[in-house]
Structure 1
Amino acid sequence: MDAHLRDLRYFVVIADELNFTRAAARLFVSQPALSKQIRALERRLGFDLFERRGRDIALTPRGTALLPAAREILRTWDRAYAETRALGGPRALVVGMQTAVGRDLQRRALRRFRELAPDWTVSLRLVGWDDPSAGLADATSDVAFVWLPIPLDGTSTRTLVTERRWVALPDDHPLAGRAEIPFADLLDEPFVALPAAAGPLRDFWLAAEARENRPPRIGTEATSPDEVLEAVSSGLGVALLSAGNARLYQRPGVVCRPVAGLAPAELAVAWRSGDTREVTRLFVDSLTAAAGR
C-alpha cells in the first residue's frame, strides 16, 4: 500500500496538534478537507490512525507505532530534495512574495546578493494570501517576504521594515476626508478579509486584537492585493494595509489614511529553520543590509 508524502505530512501535523482545526491552520487547508484526506488514508491503510472523541482526538496504538517512521520518511525526503536541488543545472533561489515589496529593498538587496553569489540567480514568485508562508510550507519557495505573524513551525524570520497600519477606503466614504482615523471609528465597518486559511495573519489585518471581543463584519474575502483594492473600490468593505503598501498600491477610487490606535505591521524575510545553506544566509544578510538593520 502506497501513501503520498502529503498524506504523511497531514498525519504528522495532526499527531502534533491532536486537533483538526489547529492542524488545518498549520497546513493551510480547510478542516473538512483535512478530515476527508485522513479518512481516505485510513481506508487505504486498513486501520484507524486516530480515535475521535468529539472535538478531541488521540492516536490509536497503530497510529503511535506508525508516527516515528512517518517523521523519518519526511525528514529523509526533505533533506534529499534540498540536496538534489543544489546539484548542477541553473542555481536559482526562489523568493516567494504576496505583495510588491518596493521600499527600495529588492533592488539594493539583489545587487549585493549578485556580488556575493555571482553563480546564483533569483526567481521571484507571487503567492496568494491563502498560503501565508508564501511557499515555504510546501518548499516551493526557498525564502519569502512575509507579513508577521507567520503561522508555520520550523520557520525563522528577520524583520526588515516596521510600518503603521493604514486603511483603504472608497473615495466617497464618509471617513475619507479625515487626515487620520481612530480604529474605534472603523469597528462597525465591513472589512475585506484575507481567506480563513491565512490564520492569524487574517486576524492581524482585521485588527482582532483591538476589537475587544467584538467580531468583525466581513464584507468579502480576497486572496491578493489587487482583489483587496478592487473590493474596496467597489464598496464591498474597507481594508487595513501597511503604510508602504498604501503608497505602492495607489489606484483610482481608493484613498488610504493612517489609523490611530493599532500596533504597527512588520515586513520580514522568512526561511525554513533547517535550511543552513550558505546561499540562504547570504540572501538574508543582503536583505538585512538593504533594510539598514
Structure 2
Amino acid sequence: MDVHGRELRYFVTVAEELHFTRAAERLFVSQPALSKQIRMLERTLGVSLFERDRRGVALTRAGAALLPYAQRVLAEWQTGWKAVEAVRAAQRAGLVVGMSSSPGRDGLLPAIRSRVTAEHPEAVLKIRQFSWDDSTAGLADGTSDVAFVWLPLPEPERYRWTVVAQEPRHVALPETHRLARYVTVDFADLLDEPFLALPKSAGPLRDYWLATDARAGREPVIGAEVSSSEETYEALVGGQGVCLLADGNAPLLMRGGVVTRPVPGLSPSRLAVARRADDDRQLVHAYMRAANGAAGD
C-alpha cells in the first residue's frame, strides 16, 4: 500500500483543524484540492476518516486510530529531513585543509581534490596555511578539518591518518659548509653541529627532525628555532645551523647558498593526511578515502 507523505500531511492538518477551509488555508492549497486528496487517501485505506455534516467535521474511529501514527510518521520525516539538511549544510560549508607547507609530491593535492569533487561536486575545499608551531596544522584546535602533517603527531590517539608519502631524510647545509662537498653525510658527523629546531610547541615532531633517537642520549645543539621555510632558509644562509628535512621538501630550501645531502641510516620521514578521531562527517571520510587512493596511484 502506497501512501504519500503529502496525503498524511493533509489528513493531519484537517484532523487538527476539523475544518476543511481553515486546513486548506494553512496548507496553501484550495479547498477542493484538499478534499480530493483526502478522498484519495480514504479510497487507498478503504475507510472513511472524517464524518462531514452541517455541524462540521469530526474524525471517524478509523481516523482517530490513524492520527497519532500519521503525526509520528510526519515528525520522524521532519527529523530525517533536518538531518539531511545538516549534512548538506556541512558539505556546502566545505572542508578546511590545513598544511604547514605545500604537499607537492607530483600533484598530490590536486589529485586528492579531483577525487573528492568527483564524489561530492558541491564540496568546497579551502586551503589554510599554518605555522610550524602547530604540528597538527589546525587539527588540535579545530581550525582545520583535515590536514597534511608530518608524523609523529602529539597525542596520536586523538587522530586517524593515512600516509601519503614516505621519503628519506636529508640534511640542509650552507653551500660553504665543510660537509657540503660530500655526496652523502653520516649522521655521526652532524652530532656536534648546531641544528635548526622546530618550536617546542611542535612536540614530538621537534625531536623527530632533531633525530634525538639516533643521538645515543647526546643532547642536540640548538642554533635557532624556525617556524617556516622562509625562516629556515634565512637561518641556513646565515650560518646559524643545519637541519634535517624530507627529500621532497628539498626544493623549498635550495634557492641559492644552500645544498641538501642524503643522511643514510635515519628512518624515513612520513607525510600523512589526518583527521580528528571523533570527526565522522561524510565529507571528512571522503577526503581521507581520496588521500588513500591518490597515494596508491
Question: Fold-level match, TM-score > 0.5?
Answer: yes
Aligned to 2:141: 138
Which digits, 9 at most, give the CA deviation of each residue in 1:40-59, with x for residues without a partner? xxxxxxxxxxxxxxxxxxxx
More helix by share: 2
1:118 aligns with 2:121: yes
Does the CA-based 8 Å contact 2:135-2:202 persist in structure 1?
yes
AA matched with 2:216: E
| SS class of match (1:96) | strand
Residue aligning to 1:37: none
Gaps of 5+ in 2: 1-84
Is 1:288–2:270 an aligned residue pair? no
1:85 offset after TM fit, Å?
9.3
Shift of 1:86: 6.6
1:169–1:256: 8 Å Cα contact kept in structure 2? Answer: yes
Query: In structure 1, what is the Cα distance between the partners aligned to 2:109 and 2:90?
Result: 26
Aligned position for 2:223: 219
Rounded Cα–Cα distance in structure 2 between residues aligned with 1:84 and 1:194: 39
- DSSP 3-state at the match of 1:218: strand
Percentage identity across paired residues of the two chains: 48
Q: Tell me, which stretches of 5 or more residues in structure 1 are unaligned?
A: 1-82
Q: Aligned partners of 1:85, 1:232: CA distance in 2, in Å?
A: 47
8 Å CA contact retained: 2:229, 2:252: no
Structure (1 or 2) with the larger CA radius of gyration: 2
Q: What is the TM-score when the length of structure 2 is the normalising length? A: 0.68
Verify the 8 A CA contact 1:159 1:268 in the aligned structure 2. Answer: yes
State the one-letter code of the partner of 1:106.
L
**1:1-293 superposed matches below 5 A:** 87=89, 90-103=92-105, 104-152=107-155, 153-292=157-296
RMSD, aligned α-carbons: 1.8
The answer as to whether partners of 1:91 and 1:119 remain within 8 angstroms in 2 is no
- Secondary structure of 1:244's counterpart equals helix
CA gap 1:203/1:88 in 2 versus in 1, 3 angstroms:
closer
Q: How far apart, CA to CA, are the structure 1 residues paired with 2:175 and 2:242? A: 11
The answer as to whether partners of 2:131 and 2:137 remain within 8 angstroms in 1 is yes
Q: Which amino acid aligns with 1:135?
A: G
Q: Deviations over 1:72-118 (max 9, x none)?
A: xxxxxxxxxxx979737942210110121001210111111111111
TM value normalised by structure 1: 0.69
Amino acid at match of 1:101: P
